Amino acid sequence: MDLSKVPNERKLYLCRWYFRAGLALLPFIWTVNAIWFFNEAFRKPEYAEQKQIRKYVVYSGIGSLIWAVIIITWVTIFQINRTNWGEFADNISFIIPTGSP
Amino acid sequence: MDFTLKPVFLLTIVLLYVAINVNAVRTKDKMYENIDASKACFRRLNATHQIGCTSKRGGSTGVIHYCRSQSDLDFILKNGTAPPYVPVIPTNLFTTSNVNRLKQSSKISGVLLYAGDENPDYFTHEQQCPNPESSLKGTCKASNVWNPHGTGLLYQDIPFPVFFVESEETIKFAKECFDKYNNHSFSTQRDRSLCSLQLTSFMYAATNSSTCIRRSNMITNLNPVKFCDPLGDNNAWASLFPLVRGPNLTEPIRDVGYIVVAARMDATSMFDKTEGAISPVTGLVALLATAKYLKTILPTDENFTKNVLFVVFNGETYDYIGSQRFVYELLKGNFPTKSKEFLPEIRMDDIDLFIELSQLNKTETVVAHYLSGTKLKDFLLKLRTNKGDLSFDEAEDSLPPASVHTFLKNRTNLPSLVLADHRGPFLNPFYNSVYDNASNLHYKYLNLTKDDISQSDNIQTHVQKVATMLAKSLYLEITAKSYQGPEDVADLQFIDELFHCYLENANCRVHQAIQKLELNTQPISLYIGVEVAPNFITTLIGLTLGWVTGDVTGPGNRNCTNEPKNYALRYYNMSRSLDDLNTTMCYRITMNFTEAVSPAFIIDGYDWSSGQYSTWTESIWGDIKLRVFLKPSAAHENMTIAVGSMVFILALLLVYFVKSRAHILFAPQLPTLAPTSC
């Protein structure tokens, strides 16, 4: 979708809904939202809905950052300890790599 | 001709020309030369360890370094400038110290082995005390080990691929490639193209058996991966007399004792090729010859109080898989079957005597090993009486690795002995290796006809003597009389044929006599393999055992079937004799197979750390292959990646430039005029 052809209230509507959808533990939607509406929020001349869009973009950005920290921490912990955890690690794995302990 | 068709016609001709004259050769086929006839070392696992070799995922590559001697290998480890290398070494350099050095060196990515000009003096990668965990404690003393030349490399975890190449042409090809590209000015090897090898033998399993079995059984996604399979196959057993009596042979004979005559049937090797001439084929042939001779001199049961069970165990190399399972079923009362209705239950205590035929190469003496404290005096005397011109000796309180260990662990007073060709350490320098072949046994096929005798002293006559001694002693044990009949010795033709079957040609006369399939002329591998893929050799051995212990009920025809069904017997049409393959007779035999899969894999919640049963598994692998290619020099490789990256960046810049200038480069679209009719 080309945002430049969309009316401002529609932009707000989209941005709000992306933010709400991300609340359902979907951090990538927040990431998309933050990047997609970044220009609208910060780099476009001011318009009525911009303030609210800016709010959602900031919230989405912070949210996805927190998620990123959580995910990276977990992946690091898991990869370091996968072998030691033995059966537990296998049980929570979706794909077990072949040829490694 | 219609001129509009002319271009079409011409085009067709051109296309046809292209299709006929141009063979599409794929780039990879131009780059690589595949090498067949190579045998890889692969990974096996037990409860605590992983052993064997693996390549990297997708294959390990390295520069060929052809070695003739130790100094060649030392040279490349010290002076190699273009690592990683794949040394191509003769088998006599494959020693523990060399493997350890290769493991420590960072310059090595794999090893290729070839048979040198002459056989090494010894080549055995079994441990010095085979099956240390599952044998009786104290039977292998550190000062006097059974397999003194054993390197134990078979049980080491080797982090790079090792292949054994059999064909001389392949080695010649590798050597020529090495001489042409690699074998000069070693200090500048990095700067030129080098002949290299890619060894692919990536193993899926890792860590230990419990881990890989657990992972194999786990279904966490839609594409479950199998990591390993338990080693396993079948044991074969047969009895001298049927286990049933009565007019219709439906009444189980319960109150008799059994003499077990056992041998193993499996061998192993570092590589995916086994030979197993001295171990297990000599013992196995001796068992079959004993069975045949005993049946000849003692064809019918005259209400004797003893019967003979001939048992051929499988997987004994890997912590006695076959006998462990056999004993497990015996103790649970499941032998010969779970149901007690049709067959008598045979228990551990019903075994009066256990005789195992181990390695029986032609050496000076045949030695009976036994533990003191078991009641054997009588039977040893019988063996001495019947030994003929065989040199026979006893070794008290000595027990080489054998299936009887499993039995003795569960019944310490079982009268048991192991017949072997050695008193102390093994005399076989190639135990469990690819060199334990017919020439290790000095076996030459004699192609005899019935009643031919061999003048010379060879392995066949030696095994004949052992079988004769044992069968006559068993005769004496069962009937309490000495044999006085006309058949004086075991069947030499049968022995000669059996060696031929197992060591040279599987499509031999014995195998033609017992079944109809035309077999491959190669010998069949004696490695136990995995339980999901049964070995045909086991069936063949079982049928052979059935053939020689069976009773002829009449001429062979389609009425030779088990009607009405008798669960104690099998009926087969088999040839009358080796000289008369085309005349079939109907044989009624008491033979069956029992599973040779370790109890560890069938007990629910088995404690893997207990060490009670064999836990060997074999890793799954995807591809095993070996290929030669020319690896460009490091400078060339860097150049390629640099040019590629530059082209990529330039393309990005170009696209960006075109896009940002799009309004200049492409004429703007004219606005469409509004329709006039509205």
Q: Which H or E element spans position B70? A: helix B70-79
- Supply φ then ψ for residue B370, to 5 degrees: -155, 160
B503-515, pLDDT tens digit by residue?
999 999 999 999 9
Task: Provide the token pair at B135.
Answer: 């044998």
**Contact call for A98 and B225, based on CB within 8 A:** yes
Lowest mean pLDDT among A18-22, B336-340, B582-586: B336-340
CB B206 within 8 A of CB B49: no
B211 shares contact with chain A (CB less than 8 Å):
yes
Task: Provide the token pair at B221.
Answer: 């996604």
Q: What is the model's pLDDT at position B22?
A: 61
- Supply φ then ψ for residue B267, to 5 degrees: -130, 175
Q: Read off the pLDDT band of B17 (50, 70, 90).
A: low
B389-437, pLDDT tens digit by residue?
999 999 999 999 999 999 999 999 999 999 999 999 999 999 999 999 9
Query: Which of A90, A91, A99 lies closest to B54 in CB terms?
Result: A99
CB B636 within 8 A of CB B82: no
Lowest mean pLDDT among B6-15, B256-265, B539-548: B6-15
Minimal Cα–Cα distance from B226 to chain A, Å? 9
B266-317, pLDDT tens digit by residue?
999 999 899 899 999 999 999 999 999 999 999 999 999 999 999 999 999 9
A91 shares contact with chain B (CB less than 8 Å):
yes
Q: Report ipTM (2 d.p.).
A: 0.83
Could you give the CA distance from residue B302 to residue B299 in angstroms, rounded to a whole number?
A: 9
CB B347 within 8 A of CB B341: no
Q: Read off the pLDDT band of B600 (50, 70, 90).
A: very high
Q: Read off the pLDDT band of B670 (50, 70, 90).
A: low
Query: Which of A93, A94, A101 lies closest to B207 in CB terms?
Result: A101
Residue A92 has pLDDT above 80, yes or no: yes
Residue B485 burial (C-beta neighbours within 10 Å; 0-12, 13-18, 19+): exposed
User: What's the distance, Cα to Cα, between the start and end of chain B in Å?
Assistant: 55
CATH of domain B233-602: 3.40.630.10
Cα dist from B3 to B7, B16, B17, B162, B515, whole Å: 8, 21, 22, 67, 71
Task: Provide the token pair at A22.
Answer: 């991300």
Mean pLDDT of all residues belonging to chain B: 92
Q: Tell me if residue B85 falls in helix, strand or coil.
A: strand
Give the number of other Cβ atoms within 10 Å of residue B188's Cβ: 11
- By C-alpha distance, the chain A residue nearest B218 is A91
Q: Tell me if residue B61 falls in helix, strand or coil.
A: strand
Lowest mean pLDDT among B67-71, B398-402, B667-671: B667-671
Range B175-203 average pLDDT: 93
Task: Provide the token pair at B244.
Answer: 């049933």
- Supply φ then ψ for residue B368, to 5 degrees: -95, 110
B519-532, pLDDT tens digit by residue?
999 999 999 999 99
B227 shares contact with chain A (CB less than 8 Å):
yes
Q: Read off the pLDDT band of B666 (50, 70, 90).
A: confident
Q: What is the model's pLDDT at position B1?
A: 44
- Distance from the Cα of residue B116 to its chain's centroid: 23
DSSP B191: G
Beta strands B157-158; B50-53: pairing state: parallel
Minimal Cα–Cα distance from B203 to chain A, Å? 6
Lowest mean pLDDT among A52-66, B19-33, B59-73, B567-581: B19-33
Range B254-265 average pLDDT: 95
Closest listed residue to residue B320, CA positions, set B139, B503, B136: B136
Torsion sign, CA atoms B273, B276, B281, B284: negative
**Contact call for B220 and A94, based on CB within 8 A:** yes
Q: Read off the pLDDT band of B486 (50, 70, 90).
A: very high
Range B198-202 average pLDDT: 95
Minimal Cα–Cα distance from A101 to chain B, Å? 5
Sheet hosting strand B580-589, strand order edge to edge: B551-555, B580-589, B570-577
A88 shares contact with chain B (CB less than 8 Å):
no
Choose from B54, B214, B228 for mutation: most chain A CBs within 10 A.
B214
Torsion sign, CA atoms B244, B247, B248, B250: negative
Q: What is the model's pLDDT at position B341?
A: 87
Beta strands B351-357; B416-420: pairing state: parallel
Task: Provide the token pair at B258.
Answer: 């059994």
Give the number of other Cβ atoms within 10 Å of residue B577's Cβ: 15
Range B637-662 average pLDDT: 94
Could you give the CA distance from residue B623 to residue B229 in angstroms, rounded to a whole number?
A: 16
Choose from B220, B623, B624 for mutation: most chain A CBs within 10 A.
B220
- Distance from the Cα of residue B416 to its chain's centroid: 28
Minimal Cα–Cα distance from B512 to chain A, Å? 43
Minimal Cα–Cα distance from B213 to chain A, Å? 11
Residue contacts between A and B (CB atoms, under 8 Å): 36
Paired residues of B144 in beta bridges: B141
Which distant-in-sequence residues (6+ apart) come within 8 Å of A72 by Cβ? Answer: none
Q: Rounded to 5 degrees, what angle do the CA atoms B229, B234, B236 make?
A: 170
B80-125, pLDDT tens digit by residue?
889 999 999 999 999 999 999 999 999 999 999 999 888 899 999 9
Could you give the CA distance from residue B668 to residue B664 in angstroms, rounded to a whole number?
A: 8
Q: Read off the pLDDT band of B190 (50, 70, 90).
A: confident
Q: What is the dihedral of CA B158, B159, B164, B168, to 10 degrees?
A: -140
Domain boundaries defined on chain B: 28-212+624-637, 233-602
The overall longest dimension of chain B from CA atoms, in Å, is 127
Beta strands B392-396; B366-370: pairing state: parallel
Query: Which of A83, A86, A98 lies closest to B227 in CB terms?
Result: A98
Q: What is the model's pLDDT at position B117?
A: 82
Q: Read off the pLDDT band of B7 (50, 70, 90).
A: low
Give the number of other Cβ atoms within 10 Å of residue B236's Cβ: 26
CB B362 within 8 A of CB B352: no
Domain boundaries defined on chain A: 3-90
Task: Provide the token pair at B563.
Answer: 């009607």
Give the number of other Cβ atoms within 10 Å of residue B192's Cβ: 17
Q: Which H or E element spans position B234? A: strand B232-239
Minimal Cα–Cα distance from B145 to chain A, Å? 34
**Contact call for A94 and B221, based on CB within 8 A:** yes
Query: Which of B57, B220, B221 lies closest to A99 in CB terms?
Result: B57
Q: What is the model's pLDDT at position B667?
A: 73
CB B319 within 8 A of CB B134: yes
A101 shares contact with chain B (CB less than 8 Å):
yes
B215 shares contact with chain A (CB less than 8 Å):
yes
A25-74, pLDDT tens digit by residue?
999 999 999 999 999 999 999 998 899 999 999 999 999 999 999 999 99
* Contact residues, chain B, for A83 at CB < 8 Å: 207
Q: What is the model's pLDDT at position B85?
A: 96
Lowest mean pLDDT among A22-26, B163-167, B414-418, B560-564: B560-564
Q: Find tokens 């605590």 and name the residue.
A: B48
Q: Read off the pLDDT band of B677 (50, 70, 90).
A: low
- Mark which residues 152-191 of B lie under 8 Å from A by CB: none
Half-sphere exposure of B195 (CA within 13 A, CB side): 19
